Amino acid sequence: MPPSAEAPARSDRVTIVEVGPRDGLQNEKRIIPTEDKLKLIALLADCGFARIEATAFVSPKWTPQMADHADVMRRASRGRGARLSALVPNEQGAVAAIAAGADEIAVFTSASETFSLRNANCSIEDSIRRFVPVLRRASEAGMPVRGYVSCAVDCPYEGPIEPSKAAKVVARLRGLGCAEIALSDTIGRARPDQVAAMVKAALNEAPASLFAGHFHDTGGFALANVAVAWDLGLRVFDSAVGGLGGCPYAPGAAGNLATGALARLFASRKIETGVDLARLGLAEQWVADFVRRDPRQAAASG
C-alpha cells in the first residue's frame, strides 16, 4: 500500500479512530453492563489510540445499548491521553455530551434519502439543519465536530449511490464547519473502484486532510478500500476492536473493519499508527472472551 505522488508529506503516519465502544457495541443484542464498557475503553486507551468513540447520546428508546452514555463518558479512562468522542443526533444530545466531558462530538447524516428517513427519521436536509445548533454549541465549548456521511457508496434501500450525492453532502458539512468528515461504507458492500470514485468526488469539495474513511467489512473489501483511500490521500481511518458492530438500520451490515487487521496492515507497511499491537491483542482477546459470549452459555458453564 505505497503512498502515491499525491499523498501528504506525513505519509508515514496514520490515525486509527477506535469506534468499537460506540459503533461496535450499539449493535449487540444484549445490554452490556456499564462496567464492562468502561473496561473495554480502558483497555483500548492503554493501547495508545489517540481517539476513541466512546458512546452515543441518543434516545434509549431507539438505541437501548447507549442508555448509560453520560455515566460512560464521565467515568471513561483516557489512558495515555486518548480523546473521547460521542455521537449526537441533535442539540439536546450535544449539550448532554459536552456536560458529561466529551472531548469531541460527531453528527451523522447520509448520502441516501431513504436511509436518512429510516435511520434519523428525517430528510438529509432536515438532518443538516439539526446540526446548526450542534456546531454552535461545540464552537462555544471549543470542541471539534466530526460529520459522518452514511451510505456514501451504497445503500441497503436505494442501492449504489452516485458519487455526486456524497460530494454534495460533504460540501454541506464542510460549510457548517465540521472539522472532519467520515466517508462511510455503512453496509460494507463497496468495492475499491466504487470507493475511489466516491473519494475523488469528495476531493472536489474539500482537501484529503478533512476526511476519514469508515469501511465496514461485510463483503471482505474493507482493507482494499482503505488502500484505495490511502492512495488518494486519506490519513484517518475508523475500525472496531474485534470487528464488532454494524448498523442496526442497515440490513446485512455485519461488522466494522477489525482494528487488529487494520493496525497490522499498516505496521507491515512501516506506517506508524501509535498503537501498541501487544496491548491491542489483549483488548481483542477480552472482546472474544466476554463481549461476544452468549450469556446463556456462560450460565450453563458456570
Residues labelled catalytic:
247
Joined together, the cell numbers standing for residue 33 give 453492563
User: Which set of grid coordinates corresponds to residue 26?
Assistant: 450499539
- Euclidean distance between CA atoms 11 and 9, whole angstroms: 5
Distance CA 129, CA 290 (A): 40
Answer for the pair 119, 249: CB distance below 8 angstroms, yes or no. Answer: yes
How far is it, in rounded angstroms, from Cα 251 to Cα 131? 26
Cβ distance 171 to 160 under 8 Å? Answer: no
Bridge partners (DSSP) listed for residue 215: 185
Q: In which residue are the cell numbers 490515525 written?
A: 15
Pairing type for strands 154-155 and 159-160 reads: antiparallel
Beta-strand relationship, 145-150 and 104-110:
parallel
Instruction: Yes or no: say if 245 and 24 are a contact pair by the CB < 8 Å rule.
Output: yes
